Amino acid sequence: MLRSLRNRLLFSHILPLVIIIPLMAVGLAYVLETRVLMPRLAQNLVGDARLLSEISRTEYDLWGNPVLFESMLSRIQLDPSLRVMFLTPEGYLLYSTEPTDQRYLGQPLTITGFELARSGNEVVLTNYPVGLRLHNVVLDVLSPVVRSDGPVLGIVRVTYQIDSVYELFWQMRLLILFVLGGGLLLGVVISLILALNINRPVQNVTTALYDVAAGTRSEPLPERGSTELREQARAVNHLVARLHDLEQARRQLLANLVHELGRPLGALRSAIHALSTGAAQDPQLLHDLTAGMDEETIRLQHVIEDLTHLHDQDLGALELQRETLPLGAWLPRVLASWRQAAEEKHLHWEVSLPADLPTILADPVRLAQVIGNLVDNAIKYTPPGHAVTITAGQEAEQAWVRVTDTGSGIMPEEQAMIFTPFYRGKHAKRIQQGMGLGLSIARDLAEAHNGQITLESTPGQGSQFTLWLPLNFP
């Protein structure tokens, strides 16, 4: 029953009301009855008793006979709920408004507080029962009738009828129960509304998570409600967006893999087919086919290396084997292998390296991968007859290597996305080939060296990528 959040919320809201409201009802009834009603009724009784006592004394002074008390009371309109007695100083009942007391007329009665009243004191007796039962309620006032010269003529006893007190108190208790019961019902309704308002967004989040897991949801959740619920919806929306991006990246990766692996595999299959049909008999053709097959396997190796780096990046396993690296002697060796690729594409290849390049602490293999990716990117997207220029230098506490091309350039709105894995531009031709991992890998490796890669590009004029490396990288 209490497994759902809604039922628990309802229970948590209603249980305190169910416990507190009855206690409030009992406490409120007790306070009103003992602190308000009982004192007020007793005060009224005292007033009535004093009035009757004064009238009795006056009648006695005039006529000298307490028996006239009965005729005097018959002329007074008393509250029917009052029980009035007149007793002699010795305790004999001379008169009572209660018909059932007629059999006790002329007989002595034992009444609590009578001796104190006979001594000339006014006595007020109240008895409030312990618990909810009202059968023992007593409201009794004894007022002495004192002659002008001092002696006590008798005792006037005024009592509220038990049935009248019982009815009055129960009316008040029923009113309290009705008001508090209405409050309890209203509290239950409000609790139900609040529980539903809390449960609905939580249920929406749960449904959204199942839909995301099933791949049937892509729209964001509305962020409304309390701060915690808005944060929860925002987290789910972030998860949906992230999963959407990952799904797009996965599809892009598969498409790129099909393209990048299919092309060299197709070339290898064609070469194998040519060899199997007699091409091996021609030494020159055999040399050309094996050279081409070697180039295609090199391309496949580059694809595998890019994917391996991407896997290491996701797992956080990228480690550098740093060593002292003199850029002046190291850079020409790295760039030499790319010169032939540029010349084969009929590009103008220019390298300008000063003699005083600094020595840095870096991983030569990883750093060569950075520069190779930047140079390969420039060669790949520069049309034949245009130029690729590599320069280097030192500025303040940083060394820099700059790769400049005169290709198609990159549109301004795409420059912020150029280092995103698998990203392909929509307008410029320079980012239409490859897997879209080269620049992303170069940036990650540069940042692993505490460096960075900056980009300056003008559409139609070319691009300039600059690798910045700290001189004192530990």
CATH at 99: 3.30.450.20
Do the domain assignments include residue 135? Answer: yes
Question: Taking 50 as the threshold, does the pLDDT of residue 192 lie above it?
Answer: yes
What CATH number does the domain containing 282 carry? 1.10.287.130
pLDDT at 251: 72
Distance separating alpha carbons of residues 404 and 400, to the nearest angstrom: 13
Name the region of 407 (left: φ>0; alpha: ψ -120 to 50; beta: rest). Answer: beta
pLDDT, tens only, 193-217: 776 776 677 777 777 777 777 767 6
Best CA proximity match to 67, nearest among 59, 58, 55: 59
Query: Tell me, what's the pLDDT at 400?
Result: 94
DSSP strands (E only) in 178-331: 323-326
Length of the chain equals 474
- Cross-strand partners of 464: 404, 456
pLDDT of residue 384: 92
User: Pick from 315, 341, 362: which residue ends a domain?
Assistant: 315
* Nearest CA-CA partner of 411 in 430, 384, 437, 432: 430
pLDDT at residue 315 greater than cutoff 70: no
Looking at residue 168, what is its pLDDT?
A: 65
Question: Does 465 fall in a domain?
Answer: yes
> For residue 431, is pLDDT > 50?
no
Task: Specify the CATH number for the domain of residue 389.
Answer: 3.30.565.10
Question: Rounded mean pLDDT of the chain?
Answer: 76
Indicate whether 455 and 350 sit together in one domain.
Answer: yes
Across residues 90-104, what is the average pLDDT? 85
Residues 290 and 438 in one domain: no
In a domain, 311, yes or no: yes
Most confident of 210-224, 266-280, 385-399: 385-399
Q: Are residues 400 and 275 part of one domain?
A: no
Last residue of a domain, one of 275, 293, 315: 315
Least confident of 91-95, 119-123, 272-276, 388-392: 272-276
The interaxial angle of helices 283-315 and 438-448, nearest 10 deg, is 50
pLDDT at 45 over 90: no
Count of structural domains, the chain? 3
- pLDDT surpassing 80 at residue 127: no
Smallest CA-to-CA distance from 437 within 187, 253, 259 is with 253
Asked if the structure places residue 220 within a domain, the reply is no
Residue 289 amino acid letter: L
Stretch 130-141: mean pLDDT, rounded? 59
**308, 163: one domain:** no
pLDDT of residue 339: 83
Q: Are residues 251 and 114 in the same domain?
A: no
> Which secondary-structure segment (H or E) carries 188?
helix 162-214
Would residue 78 count as lying in a domain?
A: yes
Does the CA dihedral 234-237-241-246 come out positive or negative?
Answer: positive
Say which residues have a Cβ less than 8 Å from residue 359's Cβ, sequence separation at least 6: 324, 325, 326, 327
142-168 pLDDT per residue, tens = 888 887 777 888 888 888 765 555 566
Q: Which domain holds residue 243?
A: 227-315
How confident is residue 430, by pLDDT bands cut at 50, 70 and 90? Answer: very low
Residue 469: predicted pLDDT: 93
Pair (21, 159) in one structural domain: yes
Q: Which of 77-91, 226-240, 368-382, 415-429 has the lowest mean pLDDT?
A: 415-429
Q: According to the model, what pLDDT value does residue 423 have?
A: 62
Residues 78 and 49 in one domain: yes
Alpha carbons 467 and 474: distance in angstroms, whole number: 18
How confident is the model at residue 428, as a pLDDT?
42
Domain end position, chosen among 289, 315, 341: 315
> What mean pLDDT is predicted for residues 169-176?
72
| pLDDT in the model for residue 306 | 63
Average pLDDT over residues 450-458: 90
Q: Is the pLDDT higher at 308 or at 136?
A: 308
pLDDT of residue 432: 45
One domain, residues 127 and 23: yes
Q: Residue 30: is its pLDDT beyond 90?
A: no
| Range in 143-152, 306-315, 318-327, 340-349 the model is least confident about | 306-315
Kindly report the number of other CB atoms within 10 A of residue 120's CB atom.
11
Q: Are residues 126 and 155 in the same domain?
A: yes
Has residue 196 been placed in a domain? Answer: no
Instruction: Note the pLDDT of residue 131.
Output: 47
Report yes or no on 164 lying in a domain: yes
What is the radius of gyration, based on Cα positions, of the chain? Answer: 53
Phi, psi dihedral angles at 325 (to 5 degrees): -130, 105
Could you tell me the two tokens for 46?
A: 């005292």
- Same domain? For 299 and 431 the reply is no
Strand partners, 352: 391
Q: Distances in Å between the alpha carbon of 239 and those of 157, 219, 345?
A: 84, 11, 45
Q: Is residue 181 part of a domain?
A: no
Residues 150 and 231 in one domain: no
Q: What is the pLDDT of residue 46?
A: 79
- Note whether 420 and 279 are same-domain residues: no
pLDDT higher for 402 or 182?
402
**What pLDDT score does 266 carry?**
67
| Helices of type H across 38-161 | 38-63, 69-74, 114-118
